Amino acid sequence: MSSRDELLRLLKPPAEKWALLSTDEILHGYGTALPGDYLWLMETYGPGEVSDYLGILPPVGASEIAKVPGICPGAAEQEEGVEGIEPEYLVHGGLFVWGTNPDGDSAFWSTVGEPDEWSVVIFRRHPGPYEPAWTRYDCGIVEFLMRTFQGRLQRNPFSGTDLWRNESPSFTRD
């Protein structure tokens, strides 16, 4: 079963489809396409919150980028009190923010390569002892969500446990 099929089985989408920007509008605004699994997620669910915890941002028009909630270019934040080296994947490519949560964590794509090759990168505002603040997951957003719900990652990617091993997640559209 594909990650998309698993997500549809586990997380009921809203009855109404969400109006996605056209390919041309996305290219004009971001200068690139966006990952296909994310576009599927937007067409199927739209922007909103997963289990009242992870806000998934929509693509927005060029004039709205960084002015209204939506995907936007982001930068790696230096963890307070930690000096030194940022992970290589943060240095070699840009980041696009696609999600946030109330714990101050942020979800990004590392925009290295073609959009369907972009990795999910999570910044944990409150990592556990000896855990990194930045972690890359070599998968797309849909597979990342399923791995989180099923606890199939090395550790919980977020500061809170709302999605970790969540057998009955919910979705609320913004």
Q: Is residue 160 part of a domain?
A: no
* pLDDT recorded at residue 131: 86
Name the token pair of 51.
């289990």
Number of domains present in the structure of the chain: 1
Residue 105 pLDDT more than 50? yes
pLDDT in tens, 111-145: 989 999 999 999 999 888 888 888 999 999 999 99
Q: Of how many residues is the chain composed?
A: 174
pTM greater than 0.85 (yes/no): yes
Q: Is residue 164 part of a domain?
A: no
Q: What's the CATH code of the domain at 10?
A: 3.40.1580.10
Q: Is residue 170 part of a domain?
A: no
The domain in which residue 18 lies consists of 3-72+87-154
Q: Is residue 19 part of a domain?
A: yes
